[in-house]
Chains A and B, each alone.
Chain A
């Protein structure tokens, strides 16, 4: 009888899995032919003004955009991240693209049927979604918000959930008060660019004492060749309020790299809680590393009030390059920041992602759970900062960064920065790197489970702590995405 050894599974099976991995193609690639109102390529003060005009923005907004643009001109593109890509020509990008007609829809039959078909392909049954799951969907098709559902029932509670452009007209005082208050345009290169040319995005305002009755979600898509996507999201949760926001993306397959520089700002006041979940599955480029989205995102939440809480959960499977550090500024006493992340890279994908937890208030707590999975020839880095300021007595942080490697051509890196200036702080950081355990696969094999199912199980187990923090609807989707990303290896 032939002897069965663990190594056999380790070498050959593993090699096959890795090969299958790299073979798996992006399933959701297609393109909608829809008439676009697109600006010519290039960026200048005129373009910034034109974007603002196009959206009928108030003067102060135009001014703000121009200030941001002028500041952007003085800045240099950051190079410190562990990612490599050809230099971006910012004059070779069109900065505005919108579906031609944009009436305010009350019902779905008014919506362009072409658009609806696209959403169907994406697997968003808008009709059903209204009733099902209690999810209000603010679908952003390219750059302009086209349809908003459940708005009325939210309005009854005083909740504002609309596109930023709409909010600029209906609640200019709120937008003016909070926009740029968490991520100022001076913050970094891409934040400045975004502030100058942002096309649209979501605005959420939860008044005092209101608990948002449903998960709010938005689907962003990039669907116009050579159009950079510059989303801007602003969520404000007043005292004693709660909101859970979901963001998910898919994009059609294409050849040319696309730039995406979004900004997300969250502000939570006394006893408020914001839960922000992301499933990101943009086109990562093909197996030769051609194409794919450049995802340079600035996400930051400010726990302004006492006992406030901001929680980031992200599942990152797409994009050719990811540069993203959802952060929490823990200003209020007893405030809490959380970061749960699964980042999967395959083929030639590069991800440099992590978080920042800035402890300013007293007795602030933060938790970081980061799981990185690298396969193919990809590079996956965790980069994080935990900073405890002088007066942040009783700060507490726990960080756990685990990496899993599949294949010998990929890289997994950890770059945590810990800066502590207060002796009452208690900080723990742990990181491990390993591969899928041969003994674990062997154990599952001998229980009659195929190697592919075994790998699936192990990977899912590896990510469990993060998936548990996703809202139910997203948890299912996230597992599916993971399965697609690591397809071949997992079933």
Chain B
């Protein structure tokens, strides 16, 4: 099915059978939300490269597949032992596992949590605490393109993290998304919500892995609310298989004195698109974006970030680094928007890319849009290869070319990797970088 119009109709025509499988939810507010999104989906067209926001990312290969909703796909049997190799280890954590976007209670392991804290699947929370979802759903993330409309319309599950005022979840949450099916091209649509109350703290590590070789589409939407004085860390480690497509939209809303940090490590996927948007909704908030994208073979990785300085006295820091090998193609689009009254804003953005091979390619578009005068904003972008002088120097000390290159790669990646606050995670990420680039690890 090569035609966009056809694929759109195909998804719409599947809605009926999807509805039937929901057994008895048809009157709920959540189902109304789905139906509204379906209307939006039918009005929207999948973006083309003529759309400024999708200028460098051609999604036509994604539209050539008829992805099957995880409900219709045969659920793969996975054991606890098999899960282990996908997990980050060496530290204590609460574990949630999702197979093709649907919660797997038997594989998950949530131990004792502070009183009032909710860490569960969206489906369960919709039953136990629907008001909570109703209050926050679609409040921070609005439907604005076909992908997130599709996610909303067919949304079936995801994770919910709710931390009440003053509570702290000490151990990080590790949330594993295992995707892919044996004989099927499956559609995984996680819908995730993190609500951090005033003075609360939470660390979330989300990991996306390809489980089977088959092509599949992960199309996720994440909504995050950071209350006053809260500290929220969200790590996203994306390592889908090489035939998979991955689309992800994260919308964050921050209140006074909150600190939100996003760590975005993109390893896998054939076509990857991440949208990370933050609204700094009150004074004295801090936002940190760290990103690392690694491309090999014919991978296409597109990162879009948008920081909306809506109020005065806020700080944002952004550092995105890429290493592109083989025929891979990287895209970075970072926008800092300072609204008219957001005086005393400090916003920094930096994007650096290394092209390891002749056929690697990068398109970058750092943007500043500023409407207040008493601000300090800057952005920088560099593109190049590994420093030849440094390389020569290392070689002259008798170090092998392979090792020398790895040293330079490690040095380049260092400031992003070092930003990771969980020590064990940091080392494992470093390992993944070298593994993905097929280089000697140091």
Contacts and interface: CB of A to CB of B under 8 A. Distances in A.
Contact of B363 (A408, A411, A418): A418
Interface string B360-379: 11111111111111111111
Contact of B358 (A415, A417, A422, A428): A422
Contacts of A409: 340
A431 B366 contact: yes
Contact of B357 (A406, A418, A423, A434): A423
Q: How large is the interface on B (under 10, 10 to 19, 20 to 34, 35 or more residues)?
A: 35 or more
B368 A433 contact: yes
Contacts of A430: 378-380
Interface stretch (B23-31, B79-87, B382-390): B382-390
A121 interface: no
A interface majority secondary structure: strand
A424 to B, nearest CB: 7
B343 interface: yes
Nearest to B383: A427
Contact of B362 (A411, A420, A433): A420
Nearest to A428: B382
Contacts of B368: 403, 412-414, 431, 433
A408 B380 contact: no
B366 A423 contact: no
Contacts of B370: 403, 405, 411-413, 433
A440 interface: no
B379 A420 contact: no
A194 to B, nearest CB: 25
A105 to B, nearest CB: 50
A416 B381 contact: yes
B378 A408 contact: no
Contacts, number: 108
Given A406-B373, A431-B368, A433-B375, A420 B363 contact: yes
Interface in A389-441: 403, 405-435
B374 to A, nearest CB: 6
Nearest to A438: B374
A427 B382 contact: yes
A80 interface: yes
Most buried by A among B343, B373, B375, B376: B373
B232 interface: no
A429 B382 contact: yes
B379 A407 contact: no
A423 B385 contact: yes
A420 B365 contact: no
B149 interface: no
B300 to A, nearest CB: 14
B20 interface: no
Given A414-B367, A423-B356, A423-B360, A431 B379 contact: yes
A429 B355 contact: no
Contact of B375 (A416, A417, A428, A434): A434
Contacts of B355: 420, 422-423, 425
A417 B380 contact: no
Contacts of B383: 418, 420, 425-427
A98 B362 CA distance: 50
B52 interface: yes
B361 A420 contact: yes
Given A415-B367, A433-B368, A433-B375, A424 B380 contact: no
Contacts of A406: 373
Nearest to B332: A418
A418 B377 contact: no
Interface string B167-178: 000000000000
A427 B381 contact: yes
B309 to A, nearest CB: 12
Contact of A416 (B358, B366, B371): B366
A431 B380 contact: yes
A102 to B, nearest CB: 47
B373 A423 contact: no
Interface string A354-395: 000000000000000000000000000000000000000000
Given A418-B365, A429-B366, 6 more contacts: A403-B368, A409-B340, A414-B369, A429-B379, A434-B375, A435-B374
For the complex of A and B, list the 10 residue pairs with the smallest distance between their C-beta atoms, beginning with the closest. Answer: A423-B355, A405-B373, A427-B383, A429-B381, A432-B378, A414-B368, A433-B377, A426-B384, A411-B371, A435-B373
